Amino acid sequence: MKSIFALLTLAFIQPALGHYRFYKYIDPAGTVTGEYTYVRANTNMNSPVTDVTSNDFRCNVGGLASGNKTSTATVAAGSTIGFESDIGISYFFLSHRIEINTAAGLIHPGPLQVYLGQVPAGKTAATWDGSGANWFKIYALGANFSSGSLAWPSDGASTVGGAQFYISCAQLSITGNGSGNPAKVSIPGVYKGTESGILINIYWPPVTNYTLPGPAVWSG
């Protein structure tokens, strides 16, 4: 059994007028659990994090202090789980794949990325503060140019600090076998804020390519 954080980061690279909280965990049966039952509670309501060098970038503002008040879900390896937002948008991920239900519609452009954080020895998902190089990316959903024009997975980061990040951490205990050892990064530290995928004007000049910030998705 391994203690894990599931970290959902949704970045709106154009400042958002509508704000979001991904505060409900969806279990393998598809049941949407209660608010902040398995997701660490934040204290900034639905406001974003904009400083990628802040410790708030791990589990949102207040998230590092709410672990002991948060339950830990036991999940079999390979299960499909997810997050639901306060406007009814669900993000499900299974291993290295995400299924997205966006019936309610996110109206601001930007990528979605999911990291897992392996809890170090001597800690639990409830007591770990997310520090150290223990995080690896399992999924990323960026810009889509397949139609010949730019499309984003969700609908003025042209200045440093302009991008808005909506962050949630779920506490998980993973059961099952596995021997993979992906390269890991620290959060904060994974981004500088000046990467082309963060510091970007999506309106002019026209965007013709897009590189997601951070490490590659682990393919193990």
Q: What is the pLDDT of residues 168-182, one digit of tens each?
A: 899 998 888 777 788
Instruction: Report the distance separating Cα 154 and Cα 84, nearest Å.
Output: 14
Q: Please give the residue that has the higher pLDDT: either 72 or 114.
A: 72
Look at residue 32 in the predicted model and tell me its pLDDT: 87
> Distance from first CA to last CA of the chain, Å, rounded?
19
Residue 114: inside a domain: yes
Q: Is residue 214 part of a domain?
A: no
Residue type, 193: G
In sequence order, the β-bridge partners of residue 35 are 24
Q: What are the tokens at 204?
A: 């002019």
- Total domain count, the chain: 1
Q: What is the pLDDT of residue 106?
A: 53
Of 15-24, 38-47, 190-199, 210-219, minimum mean pLDDT range: 15-24
Maximum CA extent, the chain: 51
Asked if the structure places residue 66 within a domain, the reply is yes
Give the mean pLDDT of 150-171.
63
Residue 193 lies in a domain: no
Percent of the chain predicted with pLDDT > 90: 29
Q: What is the pLDDT of residue 148?
A: 53
State the CATH number of the domain containing residue 84.
2.70.50.70
137 belongs to a structural domain? yes
The answer as to whether 170 is a domain residue is yes
Q: Are 91 and 8 in contact (CB under 8 A)?
A: yes
- In a domain, residue 206? The reply is no
Q: Residue 63: helix, strand or coil by DSSP?
A: helix
- Select the more confidently predicted residue: 33 or 211: 33
Q: Determine the Cα–Cα distance for residues 148 and 200; give it in Å rounded to an integer.
A: 19
Answer yes or no: is 73 within a domain: yes
* pLDDT class of 152 with cuts at 50, 70, 90: very low
User: What range does the domain containing 17 cover?
Assistant: 2-186
User: What's the full length of the chain, in residues?
Assistant: 220
pLDDT at position 43 is 93
Tell me: the pLDDT tens digits for 63-112?
A: 999 999 999 999 888 788 888 877 655 554 443 333 344 434 455 567 77
> What is the separation of C-alpha 8 from the centre of its chain, rounded to a whole number of angstroms?
2
Q: What is the mean pLDDT of the chain?
A: 76
